[in-house]
C-alpha cells in the first residue's frame, strides 16, 4: 500500500497550502518513511506523533538561516504527519501518543496490516484515481511541467494558485 500515502499526502498539501514552492517529492518521501515498519512486521516510533513533531523540530533547528533548504526539508515532517492521518494511526492512542502509555511497542502492529485487505485495495484504487485527477489538475500532462516536477518537486504556479477540488479560478 504505497499509492495511498505517496499520492494522497502531496495532493492534500497542494490543495491546502497552494504553494508552488513546496517540494512535493519530500512530502511523498515523508509519507512513505513509516512504511519501513513493514520490514520489521510491527509498528515502531516511525508511526508516532513524537517522531513526526521531533522531525519538524530537527528540520527547523538544522536549517536556521538556510531558508531554501528549510523549504525543501519541511516536506518530510509534513509527510510524516499526514501518514499518521492517512494510516488511521489516530485510532490507536498507544501508538500515536507513544511513549505516554508505556515504552513497549512490541505488540503493536503496523496499522495497514490490521485493516482488511479489501479496504487497503480500495484505498489504493482511490489513490490512483486521485493521481489521475492530480495529473490534470496540476498540469503535469505538459512535458515541461512534468520535467520541472521531476527535477525540483515543484508544481506550476498557475495550477497551485487556482482554486482546487473542481472549483474555478
**pLDDT tens track for 18-36:** 888 899 999 999 999 999 9
Residue 111 has a pLDDT of: 85
Estimate the crossing angle of helix 75-86 against helix 49-62, to 10 degrees.
Answer: 170
For residue 99, say if its preceding peptide bond is cis, omega within 30 degrees of 0.
yes
> Of 105 and 117, which is predicted with more confidence?
117
pTM of the model: 0.88
**pLDDT tens track for 110-153:** 888 888 999 999 999 999 999 999 999 999 999 999 999 999 99
Amino acid at each position: 500500500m504505497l499509492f495511498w500515502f505517496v499520492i494522497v499526502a502531496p495532493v492534500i498539501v497542494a490543495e491546502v497550502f497552494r504553494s508552488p514552492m513546496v517540494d512535493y517529492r519530500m512530502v511523498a518521501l515523508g509519507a512513505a518513511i513509516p512504511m519501513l515498519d513493514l520490514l520489521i512486521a510491527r509498528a515502531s516510533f516511525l508511526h508516532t506523533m513524537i517522531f513526526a513533531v521531533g522531525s519538524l523540530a530537527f528540520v527547523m533547528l538544522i536549517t536556521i538561516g538556510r531558508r531554501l533548504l528549510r523549504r525543501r526539508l519541511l516536506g518530510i515532517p509534513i509527510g510524516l504527519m499526514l501518514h499518521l492521518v492517512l494510516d488511521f494511526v489516530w485510532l490507536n492512542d498507544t501508538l500515536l501518543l507513544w511513549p505516554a502509555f508505556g515504552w513497549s511497542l512490541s505488540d503493536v502492529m503496523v496499522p495497514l496490516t490490521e485493516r482488511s485487505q479489501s479496504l487497503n485495495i480500495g484505498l489504493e484504487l482511490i489513490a490512483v484515481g486521485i493521481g489521475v485527477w492530480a495529473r490534470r489538475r496540476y498540469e503535469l500532462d505538459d512535458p515541461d511541467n512534468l520535467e520541472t516536477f521531476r527535477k525540483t518537486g515543484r508544481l506550476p504556479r498557475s495550477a497551485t494558485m487556482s482554486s482546487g477540488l473542481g472549483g474555478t479560478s
